[in-house]
Amino acid sequence: MTDFFNKTDLSRNDAEKIISETLNNCDDGELYLENSKSESIVLDDDKIKSSTYSSDLGYGLRAVTGEVVAYSHSNEISRNSLKQSADNLSSTLKSKKGVYNYQIPKTNEKFYKDINPIEEKSLQSKLELLKEVNNYTRAKSGIVQQVTASFSGEHKSIEIIRSGGEALTDVRPLIRFNVSVMLEKNGKKETGVYGIGGRQSYDEYLKDDNWKKVCDEAFRIASVNLDSKPAPAGEMKVVLGPGWPAILIHEAIGHGLEGDFNRKKTSAFHNLMGQRVASEGVTIVDDGTLHNRRGSLTIDDEGTPTEKTVLIENGILKNFMQDRLNARLMNTRSTGSGRRESYKHVVLPRMRNTMMLNGKYSQEEMIKSVDKGIFAVSFGGGQVDITSGKFVFNCTEAYEIINGKIGAPIKGATLIGDGPSILKEVSLIGNNMMLDPGIGTCGKAGQGVPVGVAQPSILIDKMTVGGTQL
Amino acid sequence: MIKDQDYLKKTATFCIDLAKKLGATDATATVGHSISETVNFRNRKLDESDRSDSLGVGLTTYIGKKKSSISSSNLKEDNIKTLIERCIETTKITPEDEFNSLPDKDLLATKINDLNLYDDDHIENEEKIEYLKEVEEAALEKKEIINTETGFSESKSNFILASSDGFLNGYKSSSYSASCIAVAKNADNKMERDYEFTSTCHLQDMLRPNQIGSLAAKKTIQKLNPQKIESEKISIIFDRRISKGMLSVLASAISASSIARGTSFLKDKINEEIFSTSINIFDKPDIIKGLGSQYFDDEGVKTKELKLVDQGVLKHYLVDTYYGKKLNLKSNGRSGGTSNLYFEKGSISYKNLLKLNQKTLYITETIGHGSNLVTGDYSVGATGFMVENGVFKYPVSEITIAGNFNDMFKNITLADDLEFKYSTNAPTMLIEGMVVAGK
């Protein structure tokens, strides 16, 4: 645990005093302190291309009154600096008549261990493994032209000090291992990317030659794409594979169910609470409590314990995801979804691990039922326009389906749909729910936070596929 | 107050000296400080104020051909010392790479002609609020507009780049920006969103607040009641918001790293015609008050104007020291990418461009990350308008557009309406022969 008041002229008592004075007559707010260490080691082009280590320290002071948020952050933890921030907040918040809520829920549960993954594996062994990854992947075939492999690790220690001096702490480890392969055959080039990670030590993910499976998968995706033909253009049936394709749920539904957009009535979902927004049988939850998962948090960045929030139950919209500000203004409670990228950022309601739960069909049954469509197995990124509800995501591995059978692989294409209506087009839900491998980062308002997704295979009756073949 | 050059120089020199003392044969350091203040408004009420004060140091140490880096925002001397020691230890066990080196000394920037990139004006939050009130009043004049979110941001930065070769230079810059996002609703409660913004180096050059508000409102209302169209091959016009994206794709594809690693669809295309002969593309670092202007690149190498594409022919890659050595090319000061990158304007007016085809799809927004720089394949979600005989007929949404950059680049026609609103700029652009997927 970091002692943020070590080696500074700011004592904990001073800080508590400044916080309580600044937050007098405010509805909410806190001093958020953060000490993060991170590393990134990249092998590329047969060489260790970069090895970087970063140590970041800073605070953010936040005061909330009514709908107004005043925020000031700095990386200088000192008496002067904090006073300057407090003055800046007070100058913004002229009329304050809030009532501070001292009662926030507590937890004793922890969803990951207090470890520093960077120090748990020696640099030497990381460098050696990257070399081994490179050799192993290049030895798979003569058509391998480029291999990029990387480790990234983080150890983030936070403390939240609220008005009155209540302090909450959390230590968050996070790692990721990634492999990208480029193949070239007959003048045609394709890449395949795969990665794994979460909130445990590197070796938990790499042991038992698990790293080879990551290389194999990246190579397999690239190989499939080497034989791909142009994707079709137009509306058709789409079968989504299990696991990572659930970023469809994240983009199409997840963002639209975040509290801020609904309080401001700018989400296409804001007036649909209690109504049917998905086919019967569709249940979607956002869960921050899964052990060691990338999107999990013991407490959120306001100090609220996370939970498993039911968003859609059997097709009916049940809950939005809330931080404390939006929860208060919408007369509900925080779902432990208040997150920020770092001390440099304000808290926003965000997703954690977003999951569609199992139905009863097998993937084979779904594919058999499709005369003409596509089977999408793997994806790159996605994006959504919250207000119109239109969302996209990019296939990185997909196949055509003809007369109930999986056919040739097709080139990466964008799929586009309409958030509020897409889940009504879900006609079959699989029984094979899978979690993603632990690689997702969600972007919102310029802030990136780690997230997870999960789903079984699903059949969507109508979606537009953005290929080039008419 | 923003830290002055002397403070930054002292810190950078301390880092370089300590690294050398601890065994580095070479070292580079960047020390930067920035302060920004932002005020956000929503529906005529204050929503958020944000003050950001960031000081940071980045250091790279070399031991022969071995290299490693650290960065930190904790500038306490004992912390910096621990980090530099760690960096040296890491460097020692990192394998050698023959291309690791500081830039050639004769390429480093020496004299600097003032480009007027810093404006000392400070605008108090109270004044920012007055500005935003005017923006929102202008937007909310339209009854269809149900929500406005506006923001005003002022930012000042200063930095120093230092190297053990003796390079020690940096400069202040400033940025002022304001934006308005509007949401409009139709009779069926269906909503659309659009925006307008201004971003400048000097306070006095910003757009007037009412211009931003009314443009945001107009653009948003135009998007109401969109239709989905049939899938077909069609001519597409990219609004200036989107057309500049073609230059970003080009810049990524001709970066020395993509070329050297063989992961670009433009590999080996130097001195070949990749655009039609009417196309000229410049990267000009020395535009007065330019949003992408710079005196030298991330490594201290002087940057000069480059004509990247001359009558359709690719003339330069964007070269830094490391990949330059690998490609056997000299750095042309593009470590960190392009500066003010733009297409030379075309010869046809905007109005006539709209009329060139009987039917054209006019794209104002794309979503998704659908550019594959290895294959050149392009597929993104889009919204825009159907244009018939030069007249905007109706808004279009929930479609995708797709093609391949190799073909798209050769089928570009540019209007004569180039303006410098971003650091990368393009006129309105017509591309023939793309495929739209809709119904």
Q: B176-203, pLDDT tens digit by residue?
A: 999 999 999 999 889 999 999 999 999 9
- Do A211 and A257 reside in the same domain of the chain? no
- Do B48 and B193 reside in the same domain of the chain? yes
- Do A379 and A287 reside in the same domain of the chain? yes
- Do A190 and A284 reside in the same domain of the chain? no
- Do A388 and A404 reside in the same domain of the chain? yes
Structural domain includes residue A60: no
Out of A49, A346, A392, name the one closest to residue B367 (CB). Answer: A392
- Do A222 and A289 reside in the same domain of the chain? no
Out of A68, A75, A127, name the one closest to residue B54 (CB). Answer: A75
Query: Would you call B397 and A388 a contact, using CB atoms and an 8 Å cutoff?
Result: yes
- Do A191 and A282 reside in the same domain of the chain? no
Structural domain includes residue A13: no
Query: Would you call B48 and A68 a contact, using CB atoms and an 8 Å cutoff?
Result: yes
Query: Would you call B193 and A385 a contact, using CB atoms and an 8 Å cutoff?
Result: yes
Of B222, B255, B283, which closes a domain?
Answer: B222
Q: How far apart are CA A373 and CA A154, in angstroms?
A: 42
- Residue from A55, A147, A180 to probe the interface with B (highest B Cβ count within 10 Å): A55
Of A226, A245, A269, which closes a domain?
Answer: A226
- Do A309 and A438 reside in the same domain of the chain? yes
Q: Which helix (H) or strand (E) holds B262?
A: none
- Interface subset of A 69-98, CB within 8 angstroms of B: 69-76, 81, 85, 88-89, 91-92
Tokens coding B125: 């939050």
Structural domain includes residue A305: yes
CATH of residue B186: 3.30.2290.10
- A404 to chain B, any CB pair closer than 8 A? The answer is no
Q: How far apart are CA A61 and CA A33, in angstroms?
A: 9
Which domain does B12 fall in, by range? Answer: 5-222
- Do A255 and A338 reside in the same domain of the chain? yes
- Do B298 and B395 reside in the same domain of the chain? yes
With beta carbons less than 8 A apart as the criterion, state whether A337 and A350 touch: yes
Tens-digit pLDDT profile for residues B60-77? 999 999 999 999 999 989
- Do B307 and B435 reside in the same domain of the chain? yes
Q: How many CB pairs under 8 A join A and B?
A: 250
B296 has a pLDDT exceeding 80: yes
- Do B208 and B330 reside in the same domain of the chain? no
- Do A348 and A242 reside in the same domain of the chain? yes
- Do A300 and A400 reside in the same domain of the chain? yes
Of B170, B205, B222, which closes a domain?
Answer: B222
3-state secondary structure of B17: helix
With beta carbons less than 8 A apart as the criterion, state whether B426 and B414 touch: yes
- Do B216 and B347 reside in the same domain of the chain? no
- Do B207 and B354 reside in the same domain of the chain? no
Of B160, B194, B222, which closes a domain?
Answer: B222
Structural domain includes residue A253: yes
The bridge status of strand B66-72 relative to strand A458-466 is unpaired
- Do A293 and A363 reside in the same domain of the chain? yes
ipTM above 0.85, yes or no: yes
Structural domain includes residue A24: no
pLDDT of residue A433: 97
Contacts of B404 in chain A (CB under 8 A): 468
- Nearest-Cα distance to chain A for B113, in Å, is 33
Q: How far apart are CA B2 and CA A463, in angstroms?
A: 52
The pLDDT tens digits along chain A (470 residues) read 789 998 899 999 999 999 999 999 999 999 999 999 999 999 999 999 999 999 999 999 999 999 999 999 999 999 999 999 999 999 888 878 889 988 889 988 999 999 999 999 999 999 999 999 999 999 999 999 999 999 999 999 999 999 999 999 999 999 999 999 999 999 899 999 999 999 999 999 999 899 999 999 999 999 999 999 999 999 999 999 999 999 999 999 999 999 999 999 989 999 999 999 999 999 999 999 999 999 999 999 999 999 999 999 999 999 999 999 999 999 999 999 999 999 999 999 999 999 999 999 999 999 999 999 999 999 888 899 888 889 998 999 999 999 999 999 998 889 999 988 899 999 999 999 999 999 999 999 999 999 999 999 999 999 999 999 98
- Interface subset of A 377-396, CB within 8 angstroms of B: 380-388, 390-394
Q: How far apart are CA A128 and CA A149, in angstroms?
A: 12
Tens-digit pLDDT profile for residues B388-422? 999 999 999 999 999 999 999 999 999 999 999 99
pLDDT of residue A13: 96
Which domain does A125 fall in, by range? Answer: 117-159+169-226
- B73 to chain A, any CB pair closer than 8 A? The answer is yes
Closest chain B residue to the Cα of A346, Cα to Cα: B50
- Do A426 and A288 reside in the same domain of the chain? yes
Total structural domains within chain A: 2
- Do B76 and B96 reside in the same domain of the chain? yes
Total structural domains within chain B: 2
Tens-digit pLDDT profile for residues B253-262? 999 999 999 9
Output DSSP code: residue B348: B
Contacts of A236 in chain B (CB under 8 A): none
Query: Would you place residue B108 in the very low, low, confident or very high pLDDT band (cuts 50, 70, 90)?
Result: very high
pLDDT of residue B1: 83
Of A226, A255, A273, which closes a domain?
Answer: A226
With beta carbons less than 8 A apart as the criterion, state whether B228 and B397 touch: yes
Contacts of B379 in chain A (CB under 8 A): 231, 394, 412-414, 466-468
Structural domain includes residue A107: no
- Do B243 and B215 reside in the same domain of the chain? no
- Do B46 and B144 reside in the same domain of the chain? yes
- Do B237 and B89 reside in the same domain of the chain? no
Rg of the Cα atoms in chain A: 24
DSSP-derived secondary structure for B120-183: -----HHHHHHHHHHHHHHHHTSTTEEEEEEEEEEEEEEEEEEETTS-EE--EEEEEEEEEEEE
- B327 to chain A, any CB pair closer than 8 A? The answer is no
- Do B218 and B161 reside in the same domain of the chain? yes
Q: Which of B329, B203, B398 minimizes the C-alpha distance to A417? A: B398
Query: Would you call A394 and B436 a contact, using CB atoms and an 8 Å cutoff?
Result: no
As a three-state string, the secondary structure of chain A is CCCCCCCCCCCHHHHHHHHHHHCCCCCEEEEEEEEEEEEEEEEECCEEEEEEEEEEEEEEEEEEECCEEEEEEECCCCHHHHHHHHHHHHHHCCCCCCCCCCCCCCCCCCCCCCCCHHHHCCHHHHHHHHHHHHHHHHCCCCCEEEEEEEEEEEEEEEEEEECCCCEEEEEEEEEEEEEEEEEEECCEEEEEEEEEEECCCHHHHHCCCHHHHHHHHHHHHHHHHHCCECCEEEEEEEEECCCHHHHHHHHHHHHHHEHHHHHCCCCCCCCCCCCECCCCCCCEEEECCCCCCCCCCCECCCCCECCEEEEEECCEECCCECCHHHHHHCCCCCCCCEECCCCCCCCEECCCEEEECCCCECHHHHHHCCCEEEEEEEEEEEEECCCCCEEEEEEEEEEEEECCEEEEEECCCEEEEEHHHHHHHEEEEECCCEECCCCEEEEECCEEEEEEEEECCEEEEEEEEECCEC
Average pLDDT over residues B53-61: 96
- Nearest-Cα distance to chain B for A55, in Å, is 5
Structural domain includes residue A142: yes
Average pLDDT over residues B152-167: 97
Query: Would you place residue B116 in the very low, low, confident or very high pLDDT band (cuts 50, 70, 90)?
Result: very high
Q: What predicted TM-score, i.e. pTM, was given to this entire model?
A: 0.94
Out of B42, B261, B437, name the one closest to residue A466 (CB). Answer: B437
Which neighbouring-strand residues pair with B425? Answer: B342
